[in-house]
Structure 1
Amino acid sequence: MKITCIGGVGTVTGSKTLIESNGIRILVDCGQFQGLKPLRELNWEPLPILPSTIDFVLLTHGHLDHCGWLPRLVNQGFDGKIYCTSPTKDVAKLILLDSAKIQEEDAKLANEGKYSKHEIAEPLYTVAQAEKVFPHFRVINPNESVSLDAEIEAVFTNAGHILGACTVELRLENKIVVFSGDIGRDNDVLMYPPTKPQKADYVFLESTYGNRLHPDTDPKLELEMYINNAVHNGGTVIIPSFAVERVQSVMYLIWKLKEENRIPNIPYIIDTPMGISMLELFVNNRKWHRLRSDEFTAMCKSFTLISDYQETINTIYNKQPKVVIAASGMVTGGRVLSYLERYIGLPETTVIIIGYQGEGTRGRKLLEGAKEIKIHGKYYEVKAKVLEIEGLSAHGDQKDLVNWLSNMEEKPKKVFLVHGENEPADELRIKIQEKYGIECVIPMMGQVFEL
């Protein structure tokens, strides 16, 4: 078989891995590139093969960096089946529609404000194009084998991380090839721990946090301290958050703090339509998360949920101290930008970063101490306090990733480290080789492997 790393190598975005075997072409994930402009520009480039020649897409989960290029794939001729779990199908629908809407709005703003370098700014894809993806989805249950061809089978197993996220095990040519997807944490607030693979000839393992260990600090305690300090100073707390799973994790911790009377009685606001829609998915997919029904109901009641943009405007101009959780998690788009336009220049504001920030994103720049950030063509001075809570990441750290390989009956022939920047991937390579003696390879973009 031949495997080509089309995306998600040397970076944590744009995940796409092509498998070719006996005339069948399978794409594991079809993600959108985010962050640095050279990466974003890759979204406009064609694949190295015609999308019409791809038979199947196997989707590990619904995050944009794993599903966000599907509308382009379908628009360019893909007519096959997209296999995924039921929650992943629902999450991907929400994320693709939201992404398309944001891109349409950004293109409109760029054209009206004339700050695009192009004569006419166009969205990467439209809402109508995103909707054309949906008929291709085929739902499979975890741990059940699905036959893609007479000699090719796929099995999806729980990966933790977010609702519906799975590792994909491909059985073909008398070999087992495992694609980890994004691996969750063993002690996640809401998700169950990931299932460890037992057999594999080859493993494609994510390496997002390959050089980091999550701190032993208590994220709940950190939230308590940051919120209390901000309110004491008369300021607003803004938490940029991924709408899928992270919003709900932060809601849970804040709800527990409110229940224990450890934080003040001020407005706690969720301003992300997609994050609110995700709450319904949590209700409909109870077997995928730890939250009890009564806990979930009480948690939701303790927040003000905002969907209408006029409510966003009203909230922004309300000077009362408040805590606002808004997408997007890497501050690349969404309603959090509207809040930052108003609040990033106020020294009493606290911005809490709670997840991985890709290279070149506004979130990464804020963490690295940027003195100003650019939003919708304008520059804003950063006077707000920018703090980080590392313990809320939905990605496993170096220890989790190494431990994920611990149940193997026999050593894989090779482990390919993907979905990570070069330095984290290289440190993870050393750790895996030292502990297990497994040869590790760090692929380059476009590199082809014959297995």
Structure 2
Amino acid sequence: MKIYFLGAAGTVTGSKFVVEHNETRILIDCGLFQGLKPLRELNWQPLSVLPSTIDFVLLTHGHLDHCGWLPKLVNDGFLGKIFCTSPTKQISQLILLDSAKIQEEEAERANKENYSKHNPAKPLYTVKDAEKVIPFFRIVDKDLEVKLTDDIYFKFFYSSHIIGACSIELHIDGKILVFSGDIGQDDDVLLYSPVKPKKADFVFMESTYGNRLHPNNDVMFELEQIINNTFQKGGNVVIPSFAVERAQTIMYLLWQLKEQNRIPNMPYVIDTPMGISVLDVFLQNTKWHKLNPHQCEEMCKMFTMISSYKDTIETIYNEKPKVIIAASGMITGGRVLSYLERYIVDEKNTVLMVGYQAEGTRGRKLLEGAKEIKFYGKYYPVNANIIMVEGLSAHGDQKDLINWLSELENKPQKVFLIHGENAAADELRIKLNETYGFDCIVPLLEQIIEI
């Protein structure tokens, strides 16, 4: 059996792992690289395993760094089946169409304003390309065994993180391979705790927060203080947010604060068409999360929901203080750029970060104290307050990750630490060895391992 580490090895994004057994090839996740330019450029390179030779894709969840390269895979010759849960199909469809639309718009703007090095600038894939992926999806419920070949079957099991997200238990010729996907926090606001694996010969485990513990902070109190302080200065709070799960979590927390009269009466805006669509996914998949339909409905009443870009512009130029939730979460694209283009230069305003910021993203640069930031080919001085509220991550921290392996009935032969920057993966490697005596490896990008 061979494992090809084609993404999320030594980095957080671009998840792609090929499992090859006899004549069968299975791709676990098919994500986009994000962040540093050398990583983003990998999205344009052909996959080192020919897509036409891949039989199946098993999708852990619908985030862009796990599903965002599917249109390229299909364009480059993939003809197999893509297995995922029902919410993951819905989320992936939204994410892929949104990603394609943003790429088309950015290429068009770059050509119009002549700030791209490429002439002409082109999208990685188009909306039409994204639409071609949808017929390949096959919905599978969690905890159901699915046979792929005579000696290969798999099942999904709940991993929290975002709605529909699952880990994978893959049985090949009597061996059990467990792919964690992304593991949520044990005490997530909206989602249930992750299910822990019971048996595994080989574990492929995320390590995003492998070297960090989430602070034991009062997130509600922090949000209350930040919003009230900014309101008193007459400023705006911009919350760059992932449209899936994080936007809904922030909405829920703000709704709770408002119900308790702890934050002011002012506009609360959600400006992410995809984030609004995700609310429908929550309503249609109530067994996957803690909110009931009535709570969803009451929460939504508090927010002005913006879909059209015309309304975005009107909101930006409205001088009244407000709170805006807008994608994308790492400020790599989306509507949040339009808000920050105007608001980041004003010290009255606050940019509130609520999630992981990958290397090379604008979000990471802001957190590291950048004095200026580039949008659409122009630099803007950073005068707004940049604040990070930790503890809202959809990823479990080091303690959660170690705990996730606590119910294994056998000692795995190897634990491969993926989906993390090298320092995080290496510290988790040491911790897992100290805690359980597990033999852990941090694989390199494009490494091929035989097991």
TM-score range, shorter chain: over 0.9
Residue number in structure 1 paired with 2:311: 311
Paired letter, 1:181: G
CA positional deviation for 1:345: 0.1
Residue number in structure 2 paired with 1:50: 50
Unaligned runs of 5+ in 1: none
Matches within 5 A, 1:238-277: 238-277=238-277
Paired letter, 1:166: C
Residue number in structure 1 paired with 2:285: 285
Paired letter, 1:173: D
Are 1:186 and 2:189 counterparts? Answer: no
Paired letter, 2:245: E
CA positional deviation for 1:50: 1.2
Residue number in structure 2 paired with 1:9: 9
CA positional deviation for 1:84: 0.3
Per-residue Cα deviation, 1:81-101 (whole angstroms, up to 9, x for no partner):
000000000000000000000
SS at match of 1:132: helix
Matches within 5 A, 1:330-349: 330-349=330-349
Q: How many pairs were matched up?
A: 451
* Distance (whole Å) between structure 1 residues aligned to residue 225 and residue 64 of structure 2: 32
CA positional deviation for 1:404: 0.1
Are 1:219 and 2:219 counterparts? Answer: yes
Per-residue Cα deviation, 1:323-370 (whole angstroms, up to 9, x for no partner):
000000000000000000010000000000000000000000000000
* Distance (whole Å) between structure 2 residues aligned to residue 67 and residue 255 of structure 1: 31
Residue number in structure 1 paired with 2:95: 95
SS at match of 1:391: coil
Per-residue Cα deviation, 1:171-216 (whole angstroms, up to 9, x for no partner):
0021000000000000000011100000000000000000000000
Matches within 5 A, 1:419-438: 419-438=419-438
Residue number in structure 1 paired with 2:26: 26
CA positional deviation for 1:135: 0.3
Paired letter, 2:73: L
SS at match of 1:390: coil
Paired letter, 1:289: H
Residue number in structure 2 paired with 1:381: 381
How much identity, in percent, do the aligned residues show? 66
Matches within 5 A, 1:62-101: 62-101=62-101
Paired letter, 1:40: R
Paired letter, 1:362: R
Paired letter, 2:227: I
Paired letter, 2:187: N
* Distance (whole Å) between structure 2 residues aligned to residue 86 and residue 193 of structure 1: 19
Q: Higher mean Cα deviation, 199-208 or 47-56?
A: 47-56
* Distance (whole Å) between structure 2 residues aligned to residue 314 and residue 440 of structure 1: 53
Matches within 5 A, 1:340-379: 340-379=340-379
SS at match of 1:392: coil
Per-residue Cα deviation, 1:308-327 (whole angstroms, up to 9, x for no partner):
11110000000000000000
* Distance (whole Å) between structure 1 residues aligned to residue 436 and residue 111 of structure 2: 54
Which TM-score applies when normalising by structure 1? 1.00
* Distance (whole Å) between structure 2 residues aligned to residue 324 and residue 337 of structure 1: 12
Per-residue Cα deviation, 1:9-45 (whole angstroms, up to 9, x for no partner):
1111000000000200000000000000000000000
CA positional deviation for 1:293: 1.9
* Distance (whole Å) between structure 1 residues aligned to residue 397 and residue 281 of structure 2: 26
Matches within 5 A, 1:393-404: 393-404=393-404
* Distance (whole Å) between structure 2 residues aligned to residue 270 and residue 33 of structure 1: 26
* Distance (whole Å) between structure 1 residues aligned to residue 32 and residue 286 of structure 2: 29
Paired letter, 2:280: E
* Distance (whole Å) between structure 2 residues aligned to residue 88 and residue 171 of structure 1: 22
SS at match of 2:160: coil
Residue number in structure 1 paired with 2:113: 113
CA positional deviation for 1:218: 1.2
Per-residue Cα deviation, 1:393-422 (whole angstroms, up to 9, x for no partner):
000000000000000001111100000000
SS at match of 1:44: coil
- Measured on the aligned residues, the alpha-carbon RMSD in Å equals 0.5
Per-residue Cα deviation, 1:349-392 (whole angstroms, up to 9, x for no partner):
00000000000000000000000000000000000000001111
Residue number in structure 1 paired with 2:59: 59
* Distance (whole Å) between structure 2 residues aligned to residue 204 and residue 165 of structure 1: 16
Per-residue Cα deviation, 1:44-86 (whole angstroms, up to 9, x for no partner):
0001121011000000000000000000000010000000000
SS at match of 1:324: strand
Residue number in structure 1 paired with 2:296: 296
* Distance (whole Å) between structure 2 residues aligned to residue 410 and residue 125 of structure 1: 44
Residue number in structure 2 paired with 1:232: 232
CA positional deviation for 1:295: 1.3
SS at match of 1:311: helix
Paired letter, 2:406: S
* Distance (whole Å) between structure 2 residues aligned to residue 325 and residue 101 of structure 1: 20
Paired letter, 1:413: Q
Runs of 4+ residues over 4 Å off in structure 1: none
SS at match of 2:312: helix
CA positional deviation for 1:301: 0.3
Unaligned runs of 5+ in 2: none
* Distance (whole Å) between structure 1 residues aligned to residue 298 and residue 135 of structure 2: 36
SS at match of 2:170: strand
Per-residue Cα deviation, 1:117-163 (whole angstroms, up to 9, x for no partner):
11110000000000000000000010000011111001100000001
